[in-house]
Structure 1
Amino acid sequence: MPTISPIERVGKYVGPKEWNSLISDPDTVVIDVRNNYETRIGKFKGAVDPCTTSFREFPSWVEERFELMRTDAEYPKVDVNHSDQSGEKETESTKQQLPRIAMYCTGGIRCEKASSLLLSQGFKEVYHLEGGILKYLEEIPEKQSLWEGECFVFDKRVSVEHGLAQGNFKLCYGCKQPVSDADMESPEYEYGVSCPYCFAQKSEEEKERARARQKQFQRWGIIGGPDKGRRPKLESDVSSSNQSQLSKSI
């Protein structure tokens, strides 16, 4: 993986109120840094979706998307620790061909890593949304917003809308992906077991284990039953308990 050092260097922060102007510029390439199960339920208008399943795939996507591997001679990579010297060697062609980038994620943390990566690859204009999507949805009225859909969040809300209002998506406990009402009507959806996004990837053995866990939860309210985390009682424990009760009654 290419050098990613957000401590050394990150892109320029752009507040929610300035974000619309930046991403509306046709010369700006807007990139959603999140994973595909997040982008599936919402993203900014016109944003590029890398369709990654984890952030580890993002560096490879950048190289393929902007053909960095095949054009190293044209696009000299910038050393984060010696950016001034590298900048002197940069050609005018590089400046013209590497676009202005505006990126965003849920809360802004992933963008710090992603912007550091792009800067190390020779990009000069790299911006990211300060506070992420959540700050944008909190501050920008829906009528002025360029956000489309809902934002996946990693808590019990599952998704939020403008004003951070509770969204409409639920969570598939089989794969932890968001599911809509339409998804839950699918024959591949089984509560606590599978959904249309994980049904084909799960073996029957995995589904049976999930069904067993779900039965435990429905019966006891917790996975594993009321004795979860406790040592099973032995016959000697029962005998000792009975003797203790007998001695107290005498």
Structure 2
Amino acid sequence: MAGPTTTAPAAGTTSVAPKTTGTPPITTTVVPVADLPMCGDVKGSGSAGAVPADCKLISHDSAGFSFIVRHDAGSTTGFRAVIDVTGHDGGVLQTIRSETSDAPGEPFLADLVGDGRDELIVPLSLAIVGNGTFEVFRPKAGKPEFARSGKIFGIGVDRAAGGYIVGQSKGGAAHWYIEFDKFQGSQLVFVAEIIKSAAASGSPPCAVDNEQGSLQSELGDAEILRRFCDAEIVRTAPVS
């Protein structure tokens, strides 16, 4: 069952440059920014206990920010991404610190709602079945700054028409839990969750997730089924 996304995580902070304080970095060789590989080209990321590789991202949206990704010891059992958001001149506009994770993946960019701006997404964990937790940072309107929006739980971060952000997670071999969220300002807000089941499971092919402990939607069950059972879900991608 997908995790809550309506409340921004308490752990971790974002700060606007200039950066004056911070947790001392892990003792490793600091690679110059010019020599950092692009995130996505680094092998071995996401392995539990391994020091995540430093990398960089370059957005091709209208703001054109770059993201310099390094890591520090957020706790004795994990790491957190420390991401400098830089402008065209290379100056640091903001430093973002993700939550701590023992198996973080490489951050990536994606336009989650098709508005021509990239969100920054930091994978925090990855389960054996493929489900993961992703921390989302949304650009603030008219400001060179990103807000911590919340989390998505699933195989990845997808989207659907109408501005919905989607997390699809496995619930065994026969069931998929599909959560639909929306941005309300800079925050991710839960809208609804459905369960899609294989025919052989004996369960309805599409049902509202009303299991104990699940978030409750403001929509009625009939409206959830009408709106989301046949929703076309597409993979997100960065602005090109």
| TM-score, L = length of structure 1 | 0.23
Larger strand fraction of residues:
2
Larger Rg: 1
TM-score (norm 2): 0.24
Task: Considering fraction of residues, name the structure with more helix.
Answer: 1
